[in-house]
Chain A
Amino acid sequence: MATSAPTYEHYLVIGGCGFLGRHIVEQLLARGENSVSVFDLVQRHFDDDVTFYTGDITFPEDIGNAIQKSGATVVIHTASPIHGQPAAIYEKVNVQGTRTVIQSCLTHGVPKLVYTSSAGVVYNGSEDLVDVDERMEVPVAALDAYNKTKADAERLVLLANGVPLETNAGGNLLTCALRPAGIFGPYDRQQLAGFKSVITNGQTRFQIGSNDNLFDWTYVGNVAHAHLLAADKLGSSVTPDDFTYPLPDVCLSTGDHRVPTSRAKPLGPSTAAGSSFEANEEEQTAAKEYKRSKDLKDDQEADLRPVLRTKMDQFSSVVSEQDPSTTSSTETSKDCQVAGQAFFITNCEPMYFWDFARQVWKSMGHVSPSTITLPASVGIVLATLAEMWSKFSGKEAGFTRFRVKFATQKRYYNAERARRLLGYEPVVGVEEGLKKTMEWYNAEEARKVEAAKGN
């Protein structure tokens, strides 16, 4: 899956035994890196070629020790507590922990820090997120403790960009933050267990809302890939020209077939040498052209879709700055630099919320024979009542307004910034990613059953 070449930097992956962290470690190894270290609370994976440091992210000496011993030149910080923890834990790990990581990088002279944020930091819990890009501000009142602390930590990381390192070698710290949306994939135990419990509780027949809300699910391998790219490109920038060529269509799941044109097309039937319509020179050239992938940056290529940007477009100003009459400075616009920025990372293939759940259930061997659809507004009223009841009874509400919103709102993002600046393209489509995930899950379940029998 790794599509990039090794850089032979010294990598330290904080949270490297977690769901995403593990994928990053695997991809680093897969592309041939020879210095990969992991920092985590407990060791869950045992590789010959990975050095492991156990410790607590909030203890400067723990993290400092790992950075020093590993000789890290790139720190990838993916650590974050799992779902359903008290607010104090999130504050401690996400904010304090991240502050410690930043300070340790400065103290020990680590020049590059990539932070895993979350697409949820811009979600205010009430408004739809439709094709949202990085201009969307983090809401003043955060949705919950998790998102608040993720946003705070992201701010700290981005503010630290450009701060001078405190070692003799000098230089500045470069940072960026990635905001993956809806990560799924193998090694994920939390979410899949959640899906499973819906089947166990016999609740799969209920659907809240009309299932017209698109939702970004991102395969974990793509997110890991983006982290590697971010680390590689942290010091780099692009030119305004790089915003003018068309990005390739993402058709990983829907079918990636190049459309033939008279200038680039495969040889047709009956064109073999000696047959009635032996391919002529023009057809031979077109066939060669068809096999050669089209260079989207080639300005001699006439058959490229022009990129149209309205004034609402996030990069319209970058492109218009190209106009020499309006350009006053030669310095690179912030939009063109990787360092100091946050990036949404998606699969670029949003799908309808309940479809994803149904497919997961189907892969678990369950298809609900019928569906009962409740309008979102009814769901909100019911959830309000349920929350009141839970306050009254003292039990935790399983059915909350947040969950209703979560299941009925649109939440998908625009990943153009990552695609233009990091050169990110999803590598595994949602459909293939789902297959891989469920194969892993079903194998794990089968293994558990076997183990239980053995006992």
Chain B
Amino acid sequence: MGILDYAMLAITHPSEFRAIASYSVWHDPRRDITDPKEHVTSGWDREVMQECWSWLDKTSRSFSMVIKELDGDLARVVCLFYLVLRGLDTIEDDMTIPNSVKLPLLNDFYKKLDEPGWNFDGNGPSEKDRGLLVRFQVVIEEFQRLDQSYRDVIRSVCQKMGRGMAQFAALSTPEQPVAEVNSIQDYDLYCHYVAGLVGEGLSGLFSASGKERLFIKDQLTLSNHMGLLLQKTNILRDFREDVDEGRGFWPKAIWGKYGFDKMGDLRDESREKEALWALSEMTLDALRHATPALDYLSLLKCQSVFNFVALPAVMALATLERCFMNPDVLKKNVKIRKGEALKLMNLAVNPRDVAYCFVSFANKIHAKASVHDPNFVKLSIACGKIEQWAEHHYPSFVVISASNSGKVSSAIDADGGDARAKLYASIVEKEKVMAQKRRQEEILDTLRAKGLIKPKFDAEGNEVALGKVEKEILEAQQPMEGFPIMLVGAIALMILIVFGVTATVIVIGVKYFAVPSLHAPEEL
């Protein structure tokens, strides 16, 4: 971005400008892989690994930053995992490689990981990451240095992915170098091979590193959902670029419904409306993976792992929102601005905020949906599902606030109009009383054990009330109550009054106005 662009951004999107500005000034990376203290895990002291790190920067546009901030050796492991898959992908993508070379190469790519010195310069000159394959021996050399548990995960994913890619690539014909994807099942399977497996692999690496719990590696379904959410978003967004290059991953089961014979026909501007309905069904299909992605995120424990997974997820929702009902998708590449990405990056640091970030994008998608859209009802339900998930797992009436001291506290907003709030306030109150009772009992028990007080019993053997001394002891042990955060809702009242005044002006027009006379639907 030039200085002029920044000036423009400051005017058009001030909050993003602020995000960029504060990011470049204040962002303190969680770790610096070049720091000598980090060399033992980052491998920066080895020239070969340094080169790998530089390939990561060159080939990963969006995520090299979050990869580098992963804890311990995970950063290096994920970097190499990424480069291995990027290599495989570069072979799959290249339409200048004949299938006689491509298919066996994809199928056997995992074997190359154990062939020191192997590299490949058969890519077409315009293939953007051909350089990585030309220097692939550095990736292999570093791969060989990984612990066996990591190598096993990466090799196995690479094997399955290569085989799957080859199965799809084998469908190509001279007329159609990349075969059309027909059914939703085919589409899901293709996305599983190219992205779902990445999710499985990452879960495997997280567990192997000990940073995440062991069961994460077995969460195959959720890992795939996560991968499919990202992949489907990319496929949706890259429509024009892919179609122009003779590829097309949108399944025929979707666009065929809207009267198109070929995917390329969606570019036809005279049929934009139908193309947008197809786009909206693509959005719907991607949104299927949104709540399982939130499920996955809520299982993570390690902050840097969480950030690494959450950023692409919120970016995906942002992209889906940007593309939804947007004719530009059919004409060019639609991108999320860097400032937006940074804003999201600062935000997506805990499952609650990520969930509400999803909700806000879902709301924007819902607001753009048209009643003429054949997917109208489904979209409403899909967006509602995200809100339902968020409200169930992280009720919005629980207000989280962080103080300057870094302490995070939560409070119940009992006047926010959510009927659950009072119920939960009483649950919390009960818990508190119970906890206090338990504490008292414990204190008394220790005192009794030390023989400081003697239990008193009445004639029937029941323990009698505490004496004055015991009460004093107990009181002295009570912790000081903190000040609860007070919440004020008077602003709503003010707004109501202002509206009231305006409304009286409109009231003349009211004669013709009545609300739809819907009956309470529970009534039979």
Contacts and interface: CB of A to CB of B under 8 A. Distances in A.
Contacts of B221: 259, 261, 303, 305
Contact of B295 (A128, A257, A305, A412): A305
A350 B419 contact: no
B503 A381 contact: yes
A75 interface: no
A367 B222 contact: no
Contacts of A398: 514-515, 517
Interface of B is mostly: helix
10 contacts: A21-B524, A78-B524, A118-B523, A146-B520, A190-B523, A198-B517, A255-B284, A257-B188, A269-B179, A312-B424
Contact of B170 (A181, A269, A359): A269
Nearest to B157: A262
Interface stretch (A55-63, A371-379, A417-425): A371-379
A162 interface: no
B499 interface: yes
B387 A122 contact: no
Given A254-B288, A385-B510, A308 B377 contact: no
B419 A130 contact: yes
B516 interface: yes
Nearest to B225: A259
A254 to B, nearest CB: 5
Nearest to B299: A306
Given A259-B224, A261-B224, A266-B189, A203 B516 contact: yes
A234 B523 CA distance: 24
Contacts of A383: 515
A135 to B, nearest CB: 6
A13 to B, nearest CB: 13
B391 A431 contact: no
A266 B295 CA distance: 24
A367 B371 contact: yes
Nearest to B431: A311
The 3 closest A-B pairs by CB, nearest first: A118-B522, A302-B218, A261-B220
B200 A261 contact: yes
A140 interface: no
Of B218, B287, B431, B521, chain A has the most CB atoms within 10 Å of the CB of B521
B510 A434 contact: no
A357 B284 contact: no
B381 A349 contact: yes
Contacts of B393: 308, 310
Given A130-B395, A260-B188, A271-B167, A122 B514 contact: no
Interface stretch (A28-36, A225-233, A403-411): A403-411
Contact of A262 (B220, B418, B514): B220
A264 B224 CA distance: 11
Nearest to B366: A352
B424 to A, nearest CB: 6
A264 B378 CA distance: 27
Contact of B377 (A120, A179, A430): A430
A206 interface: yes
Given A355-B376, A434-B377, A214 B395 contact: no
Given A82-B523, A206-B513, A399-B514, A430 B381 contact: yes
B130 interface: no
A80 interface: yes
A351 B223 CA distance: 27
Interface in B102-120: 103, 107
B262 interface: no
Interface in B362-399: 363, 366, 369, 371-372, 376-378, 380-385, 387-388, 391-393, 395-396, 398
B192 A261 contact: yes
B370 to A, nearest CB: 10
A266 B184 CA distance: 12
B427 interface: yes
A351 B193 CA distance: 33
A348 B19 CA distance: 38
Contact of B167 (A208, A257, A268, A377): A268
B184 A355 contact: no
B228 interface: yes
Interface in A340-392: 349-352, 355-359, 362, 367, 375, 377-383, 385-386
Given A194-B518, A255-B284, A128 B189 contact: no
A362 B517 contact: no
B292 interface: yes
Contact of B522 (A15, A18, A120): A120
Contact of B395 (A312, A379, A386): A312
A182 B521 contact: yes
Given A261-B221, A263-B220, A378 B196 contact: no
A254 B372 CA distance: 18
A217 B160 contact: no
Contacts of A179: 522
B519 A190 contact: yes
A260 B190 CA distance: 10
Given A249-B291, A359-B376, A382-B506, 10 more contacts: A120-B522, A130-B395, A137-B423, A197-B517, A254-B382, A305-B221, A308-B298, A351-B377, A359-B377, A385-B504
Contact of B228 (A130, A191, A259, A308): A259
A257 B188 CA distance: 9
A322 to B, nearest CB: 19
Contacts of A87: none
A403 B366 contact: no
Interface string B196-215: 11001000000000000001
Interface string B410-434: 0000000111100110010001000
B7 interface: no
A118 B523 CA distance: 7
B521 A355 contact: no
Interface in B243-278: none
A358 B200 CA distance: 42
B500 interface: yes
B388 A214 contact: yes
A183 B163 CA distance: 50
Nearest to A80: B524
A131 interface: yes
Nearest to B510: A382
B522 A119 contact: yes
A116 B284 CA distance: 35
A204 B514 CA distance: 10
A288 to B, nearest CB: 15
A268 B189 CA distance: 7
Contact of A20 (B196, B420, B524): B524
B174 to A, nearest CB: 17
A141 interface: no
A80 to B, nearest CB: 5
Nearest to B285: A255
B108 to A, nearest CB: 12
Contacts of B197: 262
A436 to B, nearest CB: 13
A414 interface: yes
Contacts of A399: 510, 513-515
